[in-house]
Amino acid sequence: MSLVVQKFGGSSVADAESIKRVARRIVDTRKAGNQVCVVVSAMGDTTDELHDLAAAVSPAPPQRELDMLLTAGERISAALLSMAIDSLGDSARSFTGSQAGVITDDVHGKARIIDITPGRIREALDANHIVIVAGFQGVSQSTKEITTLGRGASDTTAVALAAALGADVCEIYTDVDGIFTADPRIVPTARKIDRISNEEMQELAASGAKILMLRCVEYARRFGVPIHVRSSFSHHEGTWVVDNESARNQQGEEGVEDPIIAGVAHDRGDAKVTIVGVKDSPGVAAKIFQTIAAAQINIDMIVQNISALDTGLTDVSFTCPMSDGPRAVEVLQAAKESIGYDQLQYDDQVGKLSLVGSGMRSHPGVSATLFQALADNGINIEMISTSEIRVSVVTKDDQLDDAVRAVHTAFGLDDADGQAVVYGGTGR
Amino acid sequence: MSLVVQKFGGSSVADAESIKRVARRIVDTRKAGNQVCVVVSAMGDTTDELHDLAAAVSPAPPQRELDMLLTAGERISAALLSMAIDSLGDSARSFTGSQAGVITDDVHGKARIIDITPGRIREALDANHIVIVAGFQGVSQSTKEITTLGRGASDTTAVALAAALGADVCEIYTDVDGIFTADPRIVPTARKIDRISNEEMQELAASGAKILMLRCVEYARRFGVPIHVRSSFSHHEGTWVVDNESARNQQGEEGVEDPIIAGVAHDRGDAKVTIVGVKDSPGVAAKIFQTIAAAQINIDMIVQNISALDTGLTDVSFTCPMSDGPRAVEVLQAAKESIGYDQLQYDDQVGKLSLVGSGMRSHPGVSATLFQALADNGINIEMISTSEIRVSVVTKDDQLDDAVRAVHTAFGLDDADGQAVVYGGTGR
């Protein structure tokens, strides 16, 4: 008997009808001879509504209380889903994150899972119940307080539970058919990916692909949990996110050569800060990024120009989340004397395109093809950064969509028959 | 420093504005130099809305899952109230029933509190936080499952916590000024009671007075917790529910003679079942009420007529909750042969009036005065039952209001200046 972990997001359980539909799907999986453990998000807009209520009573609600409040959302959907399964004649038990043994650190609002002790879950599964776990929440190991894992972290709950239970697969249900070679709302010819390595998925998620949370993919990779991303509206196979070995084997069996490129991700969530006229001497960069780090701002890309020979001055640019941009400027201005620079430039009209594929390791020339495709379409590159299996470029925001389409075509990712795929996602 | 437990019901926290108002009241109590532990119900209609959701996914939701669902309501109001207090510059911590150490038996939907282990509450109070506890809920000692104590049981949570913490008073906030000598919507001249013994309050609650739950009063009496029932809309003194000794002392100090009667309660929630033509021999009554008990139906009053000399047959009448009436008839019909009777009569158009007062012990003639008052007003008595400090009569439903007014006047309970009191309650 297989053990399947299934995760359903808020849009899959938005109302009573949806909950009943999901319940039927879960019961089908159980009837097919599997043990089933389900992780569920809060219904539809519940989390937003609870945030609104919080805002109505307090301008800055304490994070501990916010966690207490928000976790009610998943408790409600988990209990309702369990009832709906019961009314289909099967037997289900719902559990809060705390009851399910989701042990976290004590950082309210964005706690990290540090352990899973699924004793009660295992017991309920062994007693032939379907188990429903409230996603997104846990209990702090040190303070015993209720914590949340941050928005969208029900995926992580599901993968962590799958790892702890030794599940055969973690199915992430969503409103699209799987993971695509690019966002189909920008690239209508994007293809659904049948199988992708978790290494590539990790890069795509880190580069702005919204369909899976980065932390969820990291967790799956670390613990070797196969993820199956699929639609809750159809029974089609979706996208399997598997380890590198499995990704290659499967493709080998089909007699298809490894694709060089898995997909193109894009991200409009960053801003670019440029520090002009910095002295090109040891310790200056350290000073800049210590200042930024002290303000708890995460940096994405960093570029330093070669210094002008006559002045010994250089420019340093970096990108950071747009929401942190104004604060980055503020702390750099406050440190102007100690760092020493001419001026600051701030630009939040930028976008990032990332090309991801493990085939890059063995195929030189990927960057060249990328830059040529952009050049052919008149798109200027403002920054470049690379990893072993990724090349990212920053462009003007209003050129980003053109850039994604151009690169998608240049790497032969377009769907053979040029058909637009069905895509109902809500990602950016 | 005093320790005050305060309980606010759903109508006191129905929306963000109400929550902020309650928060100010709590902070005032804290600023007056008290430690404050607050028990809160779910916001306004939340519990009903959650019940509706449950009904939408399942015709008969399992009680365990219903408890999981409903307890979200108090979690939400507790967290919001805590946030509102924080925004006033004070510090609060919300706790679920389970976190607060409300240990119950494992009867989902109507669990009984079997212990309170308020370690975390005590710790938070000692750290100078205001504590907010989600009412109505606990955790089962044997199964570790989330339980609910039944509707309206936040009062019981408050009294139980007050007992466990050794609080100086348990303040029950409501939307009326206190407990009245009768329901002011029926008797406009009813007076607010300043002080009542918990023994009398227990009889009133058992007789249909809706303002305090019976179990809450029982708990307060058993553990000697003084209750102060007061309005959340004013700062007037409400009604103190205290032990017999304190109730007498206070009245003695004021130089007023003990009142014979505390108040008049009424109840339209029962139905009357009469079994006509029962053989008047040993064992028959036992057979009848074993049949009823086996169906889990609680009996209130029982009356057996004297048997007719010529036939040796008698009639037995009893009252039970109206919701159980049809089932009582059903099980009695099924047992007709073994019990042996002529016919069943069922009447749900009845009402019960109860006159309660500890002075009855030392003042004969109370029943006579009561019956005379009813007779003078043309009201027929269908059943009578008494306890040491209570006389109850069953009348026709449509005569009940007149009966209450007549008895209220006959015992001199009308307000001296005949003014109608302000009353905004929602009880029956």
Q: What is the pLDDT of residues A273-286, one digit of tens each?
A: 999 999 888 888 88
Give the chain B residue whose CA is nearest to the CA of A139.
B99
- Name the residue among B237, B197, B240, B239 with its Cα closest to residue B221: B197
Q: What is the 3-state secondary structure (H, E, C) of A277-302?
A: EEECCCCHHHHHHHHHHHCCCCCCCE
Does the beta-carbon distance from A86 to B16 stay under 8 Å?
no
The b-or-e profile of B38-60 (16+ CB within 10 A means b, else e) is: bbbbbbbebbeebeebbebbbee
Does the beta-carbon distance from A57 to B94 stay under 8 Å?
no
| Three-class secondary structure of residue B276 per DSSP | strand
Q: State the average pLDDT over residues B108-132.
A: 95
pLDDT at residue B423, rounded to an integer: 34
Higher model confidence: residue B131 or residue A296? Answer: B131
pLDDT at residue A254, rounded to an integer: 46
Query: Sorting pLDDT into bands at 50, 70 and 90, what band is B282?
Result: confident
Interface ipTM:
0.81
Q: What domains, with CATH codes, occur in chain A?
A: 3-255 (3.40.1160.10)
Within an 8 Å CB–CB cutoff, is residue A61 touching chain B?
yes
pLDDT at residue B422, rounded to an integer: 36
Q: What is the pLDDT of residues B139-149, one digit of tens each?
A: 999 999 999 99
Within an 8 Å CB–CB cutoff, is residue B186 touching chain A?
no
Distance CA(B428)–CA(B418), nearest Å, equals 23
- Name the residue among A9, A52, A37, A323 with its Cα closest to residue A153: A9
- Name the residue among B146, B41, B39 with its Cα closest to residue B95: B39
Within an 8 Å CB–CB cutoff, is residue A133 touching chain B?
no
Shortest alpha-carbon distance between residue A33 and chain B (Å): 24
CB atoms within 10 A of CB B342: 12
Q: State the average pLDDT over residues B113-136.
A: 96
Give the full edge-to-edge strand order of the sheet including B137-140: B113-116, B102-104, B137-140, B146-148
Does the beta-carbon distance from A68 to B79 stay under 8 Å?
yes
pLDDT at residue B211, rounded to an integer: 86
What pTM was estimated for this model as a whole? 0.83
pLDDT at residue A98, rounded to an integer: 96
Contact list, B53 vs chain A (CB under 8 Å): 16, 76, 80
Identify the weakest region by mean pLDDT among B269-273, B297-301, B324-328, B333-337: B297-301
Identify the weakest region by mean pLDDT among A83-97, B293-307, B364-378: B293-307
Give the chain A residue whose CA is nearest to the CA of B87.
A58
Show the tokens assigned to A334.
Answer: 């406050």
Please name the member of A23, A62, A94 whose beta carbon is closest to the beta carbon of B86: A62
pLDDT at residue A260, rounded to an integer: 84
Shortest alpha-carbon distance between residue B161 and chain A (Å): 20
Shortest alpha-carbon distance between residue B37 and chain A (Å): 16
Distance CA(B313)–CA(B290), nearest Å, equals 20
What mean pLDDT is reported for chain A?
Answer: 90
Which residues 219-258 on chain B approach chain A with CB closer than 8 angstroms? none
| Three-class secondary structure of residue B338 per DSSP | helix
Distances (CA, A) of B313 to B45, B279, B286: 51, 5, 16
Within an 8 Å CB–CB cutoff, is residue A143 touching chain B?
no
pLDDT at residue A258, rounded to an integer: 59
Query: Sorting pLDDT into bands at 50, 70 and 90, what band is B425?
Result: very low
Distance CA(A178)–CA(A159), nearest Å, equals 17
Q: What is the pLDDT of residues A173-203, one digit of tens each?
A: 998 899 999 999 999 999 999 999 999 999 9
Within an 8 Å CB–CB cutoff, is residue A78 touching chain B?
yes
Within an 8 Å CB–CB cutoff, is residue A88 touching chain B?
no
Does the beta-carbon distance from B68 to A59 stay under 8 Å?
no
* A151 secondary structure, DSSP code: T
Distance CA(A71)–CA(A19), nearest Å, equals 18
Q: What is the pLDDT of residues A339-376, one digit of tens each?
A: 999 999 999 999 999 999 988 888 878 888 999 999 99
Q: State the average pLDDT over residues A224-236.
A: 93
Q: What percent of chain B stands above pLDDT 70?
A: 94
- Listed in sequence order, the residues at least 6 apart from A337 whose beta carbon sits closer than 8 Å to its beta carbon are none
Residue B371 has pLDDT above 50, yes or no: yes
Within an 8 Å CB–CB cutoff, is residue B19 touching chain A?
yes
Residue A3 has pLDDT above 90, yes or no: yes
Give the chain B residue whose CA is nearest to the CA of A120.
B144
Identify the weakest region by mean pLDDT among A205-214, A315-324, B90-99, B136-145: A205-214
Residue A308 has pLDDT above 80, yes or no: no
**Cα dihedral sign for B326, B330, B335, B336?**
positive
Please name the member of B73, B80, B92 whose beta carbon is closest to the beta carbon of A54: B80
pLDDT at residue A248, rounded to an integer: 67
Q: Say if CB A139 and CB A103 are below 8 A apart.
A: yes
Within an 8 Å CB–CB cutoff, is residue A69 touching chain B?
yes
pLDDT at residue B250, rounded to an integer: 56
Within an 8 Å CB–CB cutoff, is residue A195 touching chain B?
no
pLDDT at residue A418, rounded to an integer: 45
